[in-house]
Amino acid sequence: MVGIGASKIDCMKKLISTFLFLFALTAIAAKKPAPVDPKADLVLRHGRIYTMDASRSWAESIVIKAGRIVYIGEDRQVGNWIGPLTRTIDLSGRFVLPGFIDTHVHPVEGGIGMNRCALEETVSKEQILRKIRKCAADHPDAEWIVGQGWALPAFPQANPQKEWLDEIVPDRPVFLSAADGHSAWVNSKALELAGITRDTPDPANGRIERNASGEPTGTLRENAANLVYKLVPPPSMEEEIAGLQSALKLMNGFGVTGFQEASVSVEGRDLFARGILNVYRETEKRGLLTARVTGAIYADPAQPVEQIETMKKLRQEYAGKYFHPTAVKIFADGVIEVNTAALLFPYLDKENDVGPLNWPPEKLNAFIEQADLEKFQIHIHAIGDRAIRVALTALEAAAVRNGLRDARPIMAHLELIDPQDIPRFEKLHVIPAFQPLWAYEDEYIKDLTVPKLGKQRSRWLYPINSVAVTGAMLAMGSDWNVSSVNPLDGIKVAVMRQSPDAAADANEPFIPEERIDLKTALAAYTIGSAYANFWEKETGSLETGKSADLIVLSENLFEIPAYRINQTKVLLTLFEGQEIYRDPAWEVH
Ligand SMILES: [Zn+2]
């Protein structure tokens, strides 16, 4: 009995323990993630991959799974990743880079402009007028003729006349903003609707150009353009979404997979800030946002600190998966060409005039200090050497009062930097976001800038290399629709300091000592700009664990003469491993 009983009990014990053991096993199995299919979605091999990692290493192959890079390295290591469902692309030695990141760009405006009267491709007065005539004829029912992109140097003193427009469009109002966005050209009908006459005073931060007898000429600078622009019927939401889509398509085609939208707002349709937060939200909701985006919320100098509470709400309300309005945008000054940039010494063509600051320094300091305290990233438009100095000082003061934090303030444009201020970027951890495409001797520089500064001061125009050698974290951007959105145009000029159209036997470089090498330029447009957007752990270089944001190019940029950099084509753009652009002529094997 005992024996039997004992064996029975033993048996029970065994059963129970087996049951417990099995139960434990199931419990462990349940805790374990489901077995993972080790095979990749996509493998790119036999390439020349410039990874942009810290040691700037090269690789041959890249393995992508669920939008992430799971391996990058040698061809011979990738075999195990390839299963029956894995797509493989043979790069046949093609050059691969991380996707470009544009730290200062206006895609919604640019995209709407692409679908309106676009004057960007015109150069001479005759071409501009011909295009406007065509726009008016193509849109006989449009209430207004609205366009943008005319080049300042096409007209004497950058001052086109209303009469030229009246001849083409006498009966409907016309509003055409200049390529740099700081001037507008309107016809008599538009002036009449806005009630602008010889007796209208210049608005704050704006100027109505007038002829010798005091009559408005039809050119409006800075805020004066808003006197007319506020009457222009705003584009519909659908027109804006279509605009952003056109822009994304264009940018993805140039290899851009991330950017900072340099001025957003929820309402208020002034020249600089359109109500475009909704456009990003809606575009993202529809699954059409094919890039990661930081939005810089426009800061109004008329309500310095008060607006920060609203900005905090916007930051929260409009945060999406790829879109985050976590920066604020400050226009410290205007532009040199029309004497609206703030200089340390007077313009040579205007006695005692050093140009205006849009924000008095004490207001600027108060706003930056508070916005920084609320953990906004500060993004400042600063062109003249006085604006740059005042902005650096405001950032320095905020850092002292709020304590050093990982704030990464961005200063964009940086046209004229006083040499004394050059080391301050690195010292204060301010990110210089240059528009390298502007750094060559075009008509803007030759006719409208150097004569206002003189030779000696002009030495410090776009001193990109001087800033780079201090060790500052360089970022780059296009400022499209002011200038070309193709990063390779900017990179070529950064390397050559010559026109983006320059051929091998081009002219002398513009301030040759400010050229930078290709490595530095590429880093600024990828990992540097990723850092400028707090994305360096996610993108900006090709490393295991990061998002598969990358481009395949038609040429290895390190193996061609610099003048051919922007003849190179993007063949393929991946964003999170998804193909968002492919050159239709590229045959993939
Ligand atoms: Zn801009």
Query: From the CA of 365, how far away is ligand 1's center (Å)?
Result: 21
Q: What is the pLDDT of residues 37-48, one digit of tens each?
A: 679 999 999 999
pLDDT at 537 over 90: yes
Pairing of strands 174-178, 183-186: antiparallel
Query: From the CA of 109, how far away is ligand 1's center (Å)?
Result: 11
The model carries a pTM of 0.84
pLDDT score for 22: 46
Query: From the CA of 41, how far away is ligand 1's center (Å)?
Result: 38
pLDDT score for 26: 47
Query: Can you say whether residue 376 is alpha, beta or left, with left for phi > 0 and alpha for psi between -120 and 50 degrees?
Result: beta
Query: From the CA of 368, how far away is ligand 1's center (Å)?
Result: 19
Query: From the CA of 539, how far away is ligand 1's center (Å)?
Result: 23
Query: From the CA of 29, how far away is ligand 1's center (Å)?
Result: 55
CA distance 189 to 4: 112
> Other C-beta atoms within 10 Å of 517: how many?
13
Query: From the CA of 296, how far away is ligand 1's center (Å)?
Result: 11
pLDDT score for 234: 82
Query: From the CA of 199, how far away is ligand 1's center (Å)?
Result: 32
pLDDT at 6 over 50: no
Query: From the CA of 275, how far away is ligand 1's center (Å)?
Result: 16
Give how far Cα 139 sits from Cα of 122, 145, 171, 188, 238, Å. Answer: 19, 8, 13, 19, 18
Contacts 24+ apart (CB under 8 A), 65-68: 65/39, 65/40, 65/41, 65/577, 66/41, 66/577, 67/547, 67/548, 67/576, 67/577, 67/578, 68/545, 68/546, 68/547, 68/548, 68/577
pLDDT at 5 over 90: no
CA distance 376 to 369: 10
Query: From the CA of 272, how far away is ligand 1's center (Å)?
Result: 8
Record the tokens describing residue 557, joined without a space: 């940029």
Q: What is the pLDDT of residues 463-482, one digit of tens each?
A: 999 999 999 999 999 999 88
The sign of the torsion formed by the CA atoms of 537, 543, 549, 550 equals positive
Query: From the CA of 434, how far away is ligand 1's center (Å)?
Result: 11
Give how far Cα 149 sits from Cα of 183, 285, 348, 479, 586, Å. Answer: 10, 31, 27, 13, 32
Question: What is the pLDDT of the chain when averaged over all its residues?
Answer: 91
| Residue 308: band (very low, low, confident or very high) from pLDDT cuts 50, 70, 90 | very high
| Residue 23: band (very low, low, confident or very high) from pLDDT cuts 50, 70, 90 | very low
The answer to whether 214 and 186 are in contact (CB under 8 A) is no
Q: What is the pLDDT of residues 88-120, one digit of tens each?
A: 999 999 999 999 999 999 999 889 888 889 998
Give 48: exposed, middle or buried? Use CB within 10 Å, 0-12, 13-18, 19+: middle
